[in-house]
Chain A
Amino acid sequence: TQLLEQSPQFLSIQEGENLTVYCNSSSVFSSLQWYRQEPGEGPVLLVTVVTGGEVKKLKRLTFQFGDARKDSSLHITAAQTGDTGLYLCAGGEPGTYKYIFGTGTRLKVLA
């Protein structure tokens, strides 16, 4: 079974600061997705990256897929209190229909 490790597990920062969340594995994935989850709700997709080295931007969020398709990062510029939540990465297991989820990063942005 493939594993995805996320770091850090918890992050508490002030509004306006920048941060990066990492998602690492020793296995290759066919795609990498990032989700955000609010309390009492299911995860909601932020982005999907498919090609090694791919970079996608979503307003203040920048997502990167590693060249070898084994890792990914999420960078948030000038964090806002609305960015607070649980961030999850999920890798598509090649040749299957399975998605493997990372352990999650709980972000709290303080006003």
Chain B
Amino acid sequence: NAGVTQTPKFQVLKTGQSMTLQCAQDMNHEYMSWYRQDPGMGLRLIHYSVGAGITDQGEVPNGYNVSRSTTEDFPLRLLSAAPSQTSVYFCASSYSGNNSPLHFGNGTRLTVT
């Protein structure tokens, strides 16, 4: 049972480069979300989706794009990387969103130089 799988685990980018962080879940969860984790700031919601074809912004969406073409996949795109986007990124899914437990991947550690 894979759960939530994130790739890559580590990534280094130069300022201005673009990339996609992959997230896949095999639990048939409708709700998926992306968070970034920075020291002393907990987890901040970037974007979320309540089902295929539906996405919405979280607290810190600027500089990131998402799409949800299938139930299983929820990629996060960095359009033009900036040093302020250096962080650890977590993808999470849940059965129905509010009040349901979130299942997290193991994170992608991104460094932008």
Binding site for B on A (CB under 8 A): 1, 4, 6, 9, 30-31, 33, 35, 40-45, 48, 50, 88, 90, 92-93, 96-104
Q: How many B residues face the partner with a CB closer than 8 A?
A: 26
Neighbouring A residues of B42 by C-beta, 8 Å: 4, 6, 88, 101-104
A100 vs chain B, min Cβ distance (A): 7
Closest to A92 in B: B98
Check: B43 CB closer than 8 A to any chain A CB. yes
Binding site for A on B (CB under 8 A): 4, 31, 33, 35, 40-45, 48, 50, 58-59, 90, 92, 97-99, 101-107
A56 vs chain B, min Cβ distance (A): 13
Which listed residue (A4, A42, A50, A96) contacts B107, Cβ 8 A? A42
> Does A42 contact B4, Cβ atoms closer than 8 Å?
yes
A37 vs chain B, min Cβ distance (A): 8
User: Among the interface residues A44, A88, A97, A103, which one has the most CB atoms of the partner chain B within 10 A?
Assistant: A97
> Does A100 contact B106, Cβ atoms closer than 8 Å?
no
Which listed residue (B31, B45, B90, B103) contacts A100, Cβ 8 A? B45
Which listed residue (B41, B45, B97, B101) contacts A45, Cβ 8 A? B101
> Does B107 contact A41, Cβ atoms closer than 8 Å?
yes
Neighbouring B residues of A44 by C-beta, 8 Å: 104
> Does B104 contact A50, Cβ atoms closer than 8 Å?
no
Task: Give the complex CA separation of A50 and B59 in angstroms.
Answer: 23
> Does A43 contact B98, Cβ atoms closer than 8 Å?
no
B57 vs chain A, min Cβ distance (A): 10
Q: A43-B102, A97-B97, A98-B98 are in contact. List 14 more A-B contacts (CB 8 A).
A: A9-B40, A30-B98, A41-B104, A42-B90, A42-B92, A42-B107, A43-B43, A43-B90, A48-B101, A92-B98, A97-B48, A98-B58, A99-B102, A101-B44
